[in-house]
Chains A and B, each alone.
Chain A
Amino acid sequence: MRSRRFNFLAVLIAGGALAVPSAGFAQAAAQQSAAKSAPKRDLNGVWQLQGDGSQQPIAEDKDIPSMTPWAKAKFAEEKPGYGVRGAAGGNDPILQCDPIGFPRIMMMPTPLELQQAPGRILEFWEREHEWRPIWIDGRALPQDPDPAWFGYAIGHWEGDYTLVVESTGFRESTWLGPTGYPHSENMRITERYHRVDQDTILYDMTISDPAAYAKPIVGPQRVFKLKPHGEINEYPCVYTEEHEFTQRIREPATPKSAK
């Protein structure tokens, strides 16, 4: 028994040495298990969505439920200015510096900061230098909200480590992601910020929008990591800069076969 355990450890250590030059597998595993436990009812800090550094789609194409005729027609009109559906002269709102809106802003590769204030949690995004309040004072969602770029959000704690956020009241002019998936003003979003340890939030999002999709869109579980000394930089969308970038980079790089 003892020798078997020794062999397994040896394999782990050998695997680690082969794997990542800077931080071996075994070392990474040790760090993982050594992560401090999460503080109670506390999401304060600068957080980074984990990924390949690109803007992420709301869900894989195969996981987007069938669209209603209304949504299909809107999708056909929404032409990304870049990417696989890209076409010169695309009408992605962010290319004109229209607000990126929620939930698309959550899928950006730039960090966000969460700060708790009395009765609310404030969410600040580096991208666009934008923010929204998540009200945790027990209020209900408004019955007939004015449609807003970032919606209207309320939250409550489920236990000590999971913040559940419900939001509604979105302008239908924003896209759900770079591919151009649409949504209606009646979209309702449920998010779960589950802090599993000091450094990690597991993030789930479900979008219910019967006017646009036959079933709710369930995004893949995403991981946010704490950046202990992180800070949010300024990242406004500046129309003149965006326009120049489109002309000099995006359009020349647009695939010829784009549809």
Chain B
Amino acid sequence: MKLKLAASFIFAAALLAAGGTARAHHGNSAYDEEHWITLSGTVTEFVWANPHCQIFLDVKDDKGTVVNWAIESQSPGIMRRNNWARTSVKPGDQITITLAPAKNGAPVGFSGNKDGKVVFSDGHVLKMDIR
């Protein structure tokens, strides 16, 4: 009986694990979606356009040098379904953004899917996980 209970539990745990890893694989991506990072900085530009919206963000690196990051998000259609609007981000906004950086090391990234999000200085959060 105990054995059966344990077996059932392992089965349930395995199901959960499978659900969690299914999205991790992104074979054709230029971005490292295995290692998401968080950056804080000042928005310099927000492009609300197809194919994907873009956020440009001034971020200070360890040495105090300002680097302008180019961050890809989703299409305006997908963003709208996630409660974004073309006015959601404005130049001068202080934000913290979670993104998958380019594998080539350039200051370019992707913030979308289940893990991408923006936290604004007043604490509100916008995500992009609804298709």
- Inter-chain contact A233/B80, CB cutoff 8 Å: yes
B86 interfacial contact with A, CB 8 Å = no
- Inter-chain contact B29/A83, CB cutoff 8 Å: yes
Instruction: Pick out which of these stretches binds chain A: B10-18, B58-66, B89-97.
Output: B10-18
Residue-wise interface mask of A (43-54) relative to B, using a CB-CB cutoff of 8 A (1 in contact, 0 not): 000001101111
**A5 CA to B80 CA in the complex, in Å?**
45
Q: Give the Cβ gap from A48 to chain B, nearest Cβ, in Å.
A: 5
Query: Which partner residue on chain B sits nearest A18 by CB separation?
Result: B16
- Inter-chain contact B1/A7, CB cutoff 8 Å: yes
Instruction: Pick out which of these stretches binds chain B: A66-74, A133-141, A234-242.
Output: A234-242
User: How many residues in A have their beta carbons less than 8 Å from beta carbons of B?
Assistant: 47
**A252 CA to B113 CA in the complex, in Å?**
21
Query: Which partner residue on chain A sits nearest B106 by CB separation?
Result: A252
- Inter-chain contact A15/B16, CB cutoff 8 Å: yes
Contact with A48, one of B16, B109, B131 (Cβ below 8 angstroms): B131
Given known A-B contacts A25-B16, A248-B54, A52 and B70 have beta carbons under 8 A apart: no
Residue-wise interface mask of B (14-35) relative to A, using a CB-CB cutoff of 8 A (1 in contact, 0 not): 0110010011111111110000
- Inter-chain contact A245/B52, CB cutoff 8 Å: yes
Query: Which partner residue on chain B sits nearest A86 by CB separation?
Result: B30
- Inter-chain contact A11/B51, CB cutoff 8 Å: no
| Residues of A close to B119: CB separation below 8 A | none
| Residues of A close to B104: CB separation below 8 A | 253-256
**A241 CA to B51 CA in the complex, in Å?**
7
Contact with A15, one of B9, B23, B24, B26 (Cβ below 8 angstroms): B9
- Inter-chain contact B131/A53, CB cutoff 8 Å: yes
- Inter-chain contact A235/B77, CB cutoff 8 Å: yes
Given known A-B contacts A86-B30, A249-B70, A25 and B12 have beta carbons under 8 A apart: yes
Q: Give the Cβ gap from A207 to chain B, nearest Cβ, in Å.
A: 19
- Inter-chain contact A252/B4, CB cutoff 8 Å: no
Q: Give the Cβ gap from B32 to chain A, nearest Cβ, in Å.
A: 10
**A245 CA to B55 CA in the complex, in Å?**
12
A214 interfacial contact with B, CB 8 Å = no
Of A18, A84, A253, chain B has the most CB atoms within 10 Å of the CB of A253
**A18 CA to B10 CA in the complex, in Å?**
13
- Inter-chain contact A234/B77, CB cutoff 8 Å: yes
| Residues of B close to A19: CB separation below 8 A | 16, 19
Report A1-58 residues with CB < 8 Å from chain B CB.
Answer: 3-4, 7-8, 11-12, 14-15, 18-19, 25, 48-49, 51-55, 57
| Residues of B close to A252: CB separation below 8 A | 70, 102, 106, 108
- What 4 A-B pairs come out closest when comparing CB atoms? A233-B77, A15-B12, A83-B28, A53-B113
Give A contacts to B, CB under 8 Å. 3-4, 7-8, 11-12, 14-15, 18-19, 25, 48-49, 51-55, 57, 80, 82-84, 86, 109-111, 126, 178-179, 233-238, 241-242, 245, 248-250, 252-256
Name 16 extra pairs, CB < 8 A, besides A52-B22, A238-B49: A7-B1, A11-B5, A11-B8, A52-B23, A52-B113, A53-B23, A53-B113, A54-B29, A83-B28, A83-B30, A110-B131, A178-B28, A235-B75, A248-B54, A249-B108, A253-B30
